[in-house]
Amino acid sequence: MSIATLPEENTIGITTRLRAERSRYKSHLAELKSGSSVALFKTHTNIPLKREDRPIYLLSCGVGIASFRPLILQYLNDSNGIDSLHSLNIDSSGEQLFSGLFEQDSDPSLTAQYVTDRPAYYEEVNRLAVDTNAFFYIVGSDDFLKETIATLRERGISGEQITLDKHERFRSDFLS
């Protein structure tokens, strides 16, 4: 589940994948209508925006891009300490979520790229990984994370440069 809003928006927007095999929690979510009120507890982000005067690349697959919406909004409000922000998302649906956020004429250092398949995605990841000073934020399925991390590591990107949308106790499973 990805939280797609900032605290000051006074609402919590979420996206999640609903598969045929669902947990009890996701079964209840599937029964709700868009805009329904629910109570959520212990919400937080696993991907805070780093401000170390370096570029940041947001790498995601499908609705995973929702986790990046709050970071993009923070960046639009205050880009200090960030050289540039670029989103690369695999979207085979053609419905590019949140594409309007990237259509800000005021900030040319905020860019987005959508590709339709994994081969095109990994080609772009290889191109982005040439920037060995950058931070790479990754959101997606476990397999997507593992494959993206392996690609970045092959290009010399260290684990310290990679941020995952995972609770701290699970990060070492991917970065060790």
The predicted-structure confidence for 19-43, as pLDDT tens digits, reads as follows 778 777 778 777 888 777 776 665 5
pLDDT digits (tens, 9 = 90+) for 84-126: 999 999 987 666 566 666 565 567 788 888 899 999 999 999 9
For residue 29, tell me if it sits in a domain.
Answer: no
* Cα–Cα distance for residue pair 96/84, rounded to 1 Å: 21
For residue 3, tell me if it sits in a domain.
Answer: no
Most confident of 7-16, 70-79, 133-142: 133-142
Residue pointed to by tokens 């947001």 = 58
For residue 111, tell me if it sits in a domain.
Answer: yes
For residue 134, tell me if it sits in a domain.
Answer: yes
The pLDDT assigned to 103 comes to: 63
For residue 72, tell me if it sits in a domain.
Answer: yes
Question: What is the 8-class DSSP label of residue 127?
Answer: H
**Residue 139 is encoded by which pair of tokens?**
């959101």
Supply the range of the domain harboring residue 58: 54-175
Predicted confidence (pLDDT) at residue 173 exceeds the cutoff of 90: no
* Cα–Cα distance for residue pair 60/138, rounded to 1 Å: 6
User: Strands 110-115 and 135-139, how do they pair?
Assistant: unpaired
Query: 62, 96 in Cβ contact below 8 A?
Result: no
Q: Name which of 52-66, 85-99, 127-141 the model is least confident about.
A: 85-99
Mean pLDDT value across residues 77-83? 93
For residue 28, tell me if it sits in a domain.
Answer: no
For residue 42, tell me if it sits in a domain.
Answer: no
The pLDDT assigned to 85 comes to: 94
* Cα–Cα distance for residue pair 60/141, rounded to 1 Å: 9
* Cα–Cα distance for residue pair 65/96, rounded to 1 Å: 9
Look up the CATH number of the domain holding residue 152.
3.40.50.80
For residue 122, tell me if it sits in a domain.
Answer: yes
Q: Looking at per-residue confidence, does 146 or 14 come out higher?
A: 146
In the chain, how many domains are there? 1
Query: 160, 50 in Cβ contact below 8 A?
Result: no
| Structure confidence at residue 2 as a pLDDT band (50, 70, 90) | low
